[in-house]
Amino acid sequence: MKQELIDIIEQMKGQRILVLGDMVADIYLDGRISRISREAPVLVLEQADEKIVAGGAANVVNNIATLGGQVFAVGLVGLDSAARGLKEILEGNGAHTQGLFCDEKRPTISKTRIIAGGRATVSQQIVRIDKESKEPMTPAFESNMLQYINKLLPKIDGVVLSDYGSGTITGKIRTSILRHCKERGIPSIVDSRYAIHRFEGVGYVKQNDAELAAAVGRELRTEDDLYDAGQELLGELKAQGVLITRGEKGMVLFEDNGAIHDIPVSDKSEVYDVSGAGDTCVATVILALAAGVAPAQAAELSNIASGIAVRKLGTATVSAEELGRFMKS
């Protein structure tokens, strides 16, 4: 079985994946505590460092690129430093960014974390500043994006819809993509934080256990509750599979043929940060499915990749080489 999974890593390389969704710039401003301000009882920080990290759908793009896929990012950005930083990161890993449309009237979605520390204190986040437009995408940008997607789709092996609730995946674009995937037998997967019910007809669904509980509208207190909810969501969305991530309890994959696969975590040691582990999971699953791998094996490999990601601080990527080394160890 281990050798089979190692072989899949090679098969994933070069698969052409379209990622559509809410591209987020995670910005970290690191400051050293200087003094208390005279203007108000607040800390004065001297900025020491600024770093931009790919977040949201952009982190899925990044993970697909580092895992060896040929990835095409599609989304909206602004005309600002966050967009420039995001493009630089993605292009640095070989991602195609021609599908990142620039709307000068809206900012790039960003989450800026202010990190403060001193010589004798541990650095910690003291505040987060979120920036995004609440206005819907204009018809002109929707039309241009749809035109780009339709031109690209015939060359694509798999599709990711990464929905963080910021409105990039409009109804018209969603319908067009899912129809194409169904007609051509192209694997698709959606990761939607707040509106999973909008994606009826998608191939595969990824949710964490809290999102699943919200989707079915009830608490999931027992294993039976979770299994019932997973099968309920599978039926409602008419999907081929629903993958539920459960933190330290691993994953459960529900397939439309009735099969249920309970996948324990690959390694419980050294869990530093779960930020972005779901993006690593989605990236691995879609690459494996695009390569023609069975859903259960795709989920198992994604579980291992996510296990590597959580041992890194912040939203992290996992490379094909890292995954291969871990499998051989």
The catalytic residues are 279
Mean pLDDT of successive 10-residue stretches along the chain, which has 329 residues: 85 97 95 91 89 94 97 98 97 97 97 85 88 95 98 97 95 97 97 95 96 96 96 98 92 97 76 66 97 96 88 76 84
Residue 75 dihedral angles phi and psi, to the nearest 5°: 180, -170
pTM exceeding 0.85: yes
Using alpha carbons, select from 224, 216, 296, 223 the residue that is nearest to residue 260.
Answer: 296
Contact 41, 47 (CB under 8 A): no
Alpha helices in the chain (DSSP H): 2-12, 57-66, 81-92, 139-152, 171-184, 209-216, 223-237, 277-290, 295-309, 320-328
Residue 89 dihedral angles phi and psi, to the nearest 5°: -65, -50
Contact 309, 276 (CB under 8 A): yes
Chain centre to alpha carbon of residue 102: 21
The CATH class of 2-24+55-108+132-328 is: alpha beta
Q: What is the 3-state secondary structure (H, E, C) of 249-304?
A: HCEEEEECCCCEEEECCCCCCCCCCCCCHHHHHHHHHHHHHHCCCCHHHHHHHHHH
Residue 288 dihedral angles phi and psi, to the nearest 5°: -65, -45
